[in-house]
Amino acid sequence: METGDVVREAFGRIRQLVDRSVAGLDADALAFRPDADANSIGWLVWHLTRTQDDHVAEIAGLDQTWITDGWAERFGMPADPHDTGYGHTSEQVAAVRPLGPDLLTDYHAAVSDRTLEYLVVVDATELDRIIDRSYDPPVSVGVRLVSVISDNLQHAGQAMYVRGILERTPERRAGGSGTG
């Protein structure tokens, strides 16, 4: 297996987790937060997708899908290329409220497809290319991609965990709507 194949496999697994974490959930379920300051499933998936969109677009020298394909408008949010959710307040987390899973999975699919298109050209030389000299040691494409994969897998796992909590709430166990 070539290096690019390994990286593509990792991003493919993220996409599978995203799809599973939101499948069949309604707006209330996507907005469920285990407590007032916790992240919701919808926010976690939006944030991990924004992070991937932002970082891979920068690496590939492209504009973010969030801006160019109108995803900000579809989410009813400002088209701010710097807003990836990092540092969001509890109120900002609550404001990310998709009406259903399709908006999240469609945005993630668009970002994932663009990521996979870029990864076709990734080889050892590209992975070694320095993209950020503000760190010591400087950050290479390979290090940044591993960072995105790690961050995305953590947030996808968190979304699955919150979904597990949601599915065990008394109203869900009693057959309430929202989980398909």
- The CA dihedral of 18, 19, 23, 26, to the nearest 10 degrees, is 50
Share of the chain above pLDDT 90, in %: 89
Nearest-angstrom CA–CA distance, 127 and 131? 10
Residue 81 CA from chain centroid, whole number: 15
What is the predicted pLDDT for the residue at 178?
Answer: 55
Nearest-angstrom CA–CA distance, 131 and 62? 14
Tell me which CATH code domain 3-173 carries.
1.20.120.450
- Report whether pLDDT(177) > 70: no
3-state secondary structure at position 161:
helix
Spell out the residues 6+ positions from residue 121 whose beta carbon is closer than 8 angstroms to its own. Answer: none
Nearest-angstrom CA–CA distance, 50 and 111? 9
- Report whether pLDDT(87) > 90: yes
Q: Is the distance from CB of 20 to CB of 128 less than 8 angstroms?
A: no
Residue 1's pLDDT band (boundaries 50, 70, 90)? Answer: confident
Residue 171's pLDDT band (boundaries 50, 70, 90)? Answer: confident
| DSSP states along 50-69 | HHHHHHHHHHHT---HHHHT
What is the predicted pLDDT for the residue at 152?
Answer: 98
- Report whether pLDDT(31) > 90: yes
In this structure, which amino acid lies at residue 169?
Answer: T
Nearest-angstrom CA–CA distance, 116 and 93? 28
Domain boundaries, the chain: 3-173
Residue of 150, 161, 35, 151 lying closest to 84 (CA atoms): 151
What is the predicted pLDDT for the residue at 170?
Answer: 85
Nearest-angstrom CA–CA distance, 96 and 166? 18
- Report whether pLDDT(145) > 80: yes
Q: Is the distance from CB of 180 to CB of 163 less than 8 angstroms?
A: no
pLDDT single digits (tens) 100-131: 999 999 999 999 999 999 999 899 999 999 99
Tokens of 10: 């990792």
Nearest-angstrom CA–CA distance, 30 and 47? 13
